[in-house]
Structure 1
Amino acid sequence: MIRLTNLADYAVVVMAAAAREPAAKLSAARVAELTAIPAPTVAKLMGTLARGGLLLASRGVAGGFTLSRDPADISVAEVVEAVDGPIALTSCAGNDVNDCAMEGHCAIRGHWAPINQAVRGALAAVTLADLVRPAAAAAPMAAPAPALAD
């Protein structure tokens, strides 16, 4: 199974909460209340997302965090990358040095780039505006195939 880190998952939830109130200045405490994510985690994520250019932070009594852009202009890929770095399904597919024992003779390494691009493209195609719209009703499941008689 391929999974996002918990922090990346929470970051998407935090950003979706901010997208529901794009004009409001939200505190970490308020976002924690809206999302049920622990306040210290929300505060850490909001700082990371602000450093990543996705949130704007203002200090003071009337301070808080707001989205840096319209929710339709912020993709899930940007949120994930702000927290986890570049999207890569394997360590050898990124630009980082790795210690894979197979690196010198792996015939697959060069083929990960299009896979990573496809995954990133799928995440980039979904925006915060998409996430705050009501989810479409699930398609009805097909009836099970009849059992074959012996």
Structure 2
Amino acid sequence: MRLSSMADYAVVTMTAAARHCGGARISAQQLAEETGLPAPTVQKLVSKLSAAGLLKSVRGARGGLKLARPAAAITLADIIEAVEGPIALAPCSTPVRQDCTCSLEKDCTVRPHWPVVDAALRGALSAVPLTQFARPVAAEATA
């Protein structure tokens, strides 16, 4: 399993925003420059993250973007779901199964078990706060 590029970029964007937490607000353009992501991508992510209640946009001379709640209260699950929707490993494990084209759906004995797996995955991602990504990693941990 891999995150989509957009989910990965959302984590990168939120991490950059978290580093500015408590300081001056930051613009989407500044986030793009700081992260190296294309500005249109950051604009799209800011829109989704704001709609999900993770970022807050403030207008005016002292305006810009800030986290809508403390970084410690935002998890990887929150960020991923803001971009991708509910966490579900199999298309048929969500209540709305619009993209399920499985020919076994009618007689499938596995489908009832996917929600347990999805809940475990969401639980693991919910245990990782944004603050963990915003702090520097020791040099020996990256080698």
**TM-score strictly above 0.5:** yes
Q: 1-side partners of 2:103 and 2:118: how far apart?
A: 21
What is the CA RMSD across the aligned residues, in angstroms? 1.6
Tell which deviates more after alignment, 131-140 or 84-93: 131-140
**Number of the residue aligned with 1:22:** 21
Q: Classify the secondary structure of the residue corresponding to 1:69.
A: coil
**Number of the residue aligned with 1:134:** 136
Tell which deviates more after alignment, 27-36 or 53-62: 53-62
- CA shift at 1:82, angstroms? 0.6
**Number of the residue aligned with 1:66:** 66
The structure with the larger Rg is 1
- CA shift at 1:15, angstroms? 0.3
What is the letter of the counterpart of residue 11 of structure 2?
Answer: V
Q: How many residues align?
A: 139
Q: 2-side partners of 1:55 and 1:132: how far apart?
A: 15
What TM-score results when the alignment is normalised by the length of structure 1?
0.87
1:94-121, Cα deviation, whole Å (9 max, x unpaired) = 1122332110111111111111111111
Identity %: 47
1:32-70, Cα deviation, whole Å (9 max, x unpaired) = 111000011001101110111001111233221100111
Identify unmatched segments of 5+ residues in structure 2: none
Q: 2-side partners of 1:79 and 1:135: how far apart?
A: 21
Equivalent positions of 1:111-150 (< 5 A) are 111-135=113-137, 137-138=140-141
What is the letter of the counterpart of residue 113 of structure 1?
Answer: P
Q: 1-side partners of 2:61 and 2:41: how far apart?
A: 22
Name the structure with the higher helix share: 2
Q: Classify the secondary structure of the residue corresponding to 1:95.
A: coil
